[in-house]
A = this chain, B = another copy of it.
Amino acid sequence: MVLVGSHLDSQPFGGRYDGTYGVLAGLEALRSLDDAGATTLRSITLVDWTDEEGARFSPSLLGSGVVAGTIGLDDALARTDANGVTVAEELDRIGYRGTFDSSSLAVHRCFEAHIEQGPVLERTGTDIAVVTGVQAIRWFDVVIAGQDCHAGTTPHPDRRDALVAAAGLIEAVDALATTVNKDLRATVGEIRVQPNSRNVIPGRVRLAIDLRHPEPSVLDQAVTQLRTAAADIAERRGVTAEVRPVLDMPPTVFDAGTTELIRSTAAGLGYSTVEMSSGAGHDSMNVASRAPASMLFIPCVDGLSHTEAEDIRDDWAVNGAEVLLGAIRQAADERPDLDSHHR
């Protein structure tokens, strides 16, 4: 079969289009094929992957994770939401607990359309991004420990202010994109301060760091500079700074044939394209471990996602759905002997 789809669970984060676009574009492609009375050699299945965002259950990419084997089925079914309801209970309640064994899934190719979630397509006026893979991701926590004390009574030379040290590291992480590689993404998205009270010098800070690049060797350089910066700042500010690895996700390289099918379909329809490595994680990373998979991106306004301001233009949506339809149809009509190496 040919798989197409994305996920519908990004609304809690303000994702009005996000994965929803890919599901609706896939639905529109299937309806168009039906409307045209078209038949294909292979079946086409539309999928809404459960809990891609981890918005309700954890971890994220839950449904596709079961298919990829990164999480066991029983483990996935036992996961609970904030109210203690399990995935199994909720699937039973809504009548969506099926019996299909995903290990028997025989996917010829898999496609996913998505908004870019970045500003490149819109800024360059490009219609479609042909997604060649997903960046490698490394997460670190940095725990900075100084000494909390009274803000009014402690002279500055006596201070071991964990937040001032953290501030230096936040700037150093941001600067990695300048000093290491311009395509590096280096972000401190989360900070926890203790005691976090106006008139107390902060004694302890935890920073959550997200580093991404398609090349692991570039991330290696970034991590080395991160560790050096943390040690230098700790020395200068009289604090300790412990750099703790949290996640090390290798890059995903999408199937070249599937990627080329998207590129050639878009070109054939007259759309401008650019190759892009996805900055965000997607279910297609998981599917790619089981079947030839690739993605296409359409532009989104100001590169925004996961916010109420997230928006797309109708013509962008149509362009992406046209390319998706064309690629699906070609894949669904590919002869078995052309892809005997696929399950």
Contacts and interface: CB of A to CB of B under 8 A. Distances in A.
Interface stretch (A77-85, A91-99, A298-306, A329-337): A298-306
A161 interface: yes
Interface of A: 116-120, 123, 135, 137, 139, 147-156, 158, 161, 163-164, 166-168, 170-171, 174, 177-178, 182-191, 193, 196-203, 208-210, 212, 278-281, 302-307
Given A189-B199, A190-B196, A198-B139, A156 B170 contact: no
Given A164-B174, A304-B147, A153 B116 contact: yes
Given A167-B170, A187-B201, A149 B305 contact: yes
Contacts of A280: 150, 152-153, 199
Given A167-B167, A193-B190, A208-B198, A303 B154 contact: yes
10 contacts: A117-B150, A123-B158, A135-B152, A151-B189, A152-B185, A154-B185, A156-B178, A156-B182, A161-B187, A187-B198
Contacts of A155: 118-120, 177, 182-183, 185
Contact of A307 (B120, B149, B190): B149
Contacts of A118: 149-150, 153-155, 158
Contacts of A123: 158
Contact of A152 (B158, B198, B281): B281
A59 to B, nearest CB: 13
A154 to B, nearest CB: 5
Most buried by B among A119, A186, A199, A280: A199
Nearest to A173: B164
Nearest to A137: B152
Contacts of A191: 163, 191, 193, 196
Contact of A303 (B153, B178, B212, B305): B153
Contacts of A189: 151, 163, 196-202
Given A156-B186, A161-B174, A164-B171, 12 more contacts: A118-B150, A118-B155, A120-B155, A151-B189, A153-B305, A164-B174, A167-B167, A167-B174, A189-B197, A191-B193, A198-B208, A200-B306
B170 A163 contact: yes
Nearest to A280: B152
Contacts of A182: 155-156
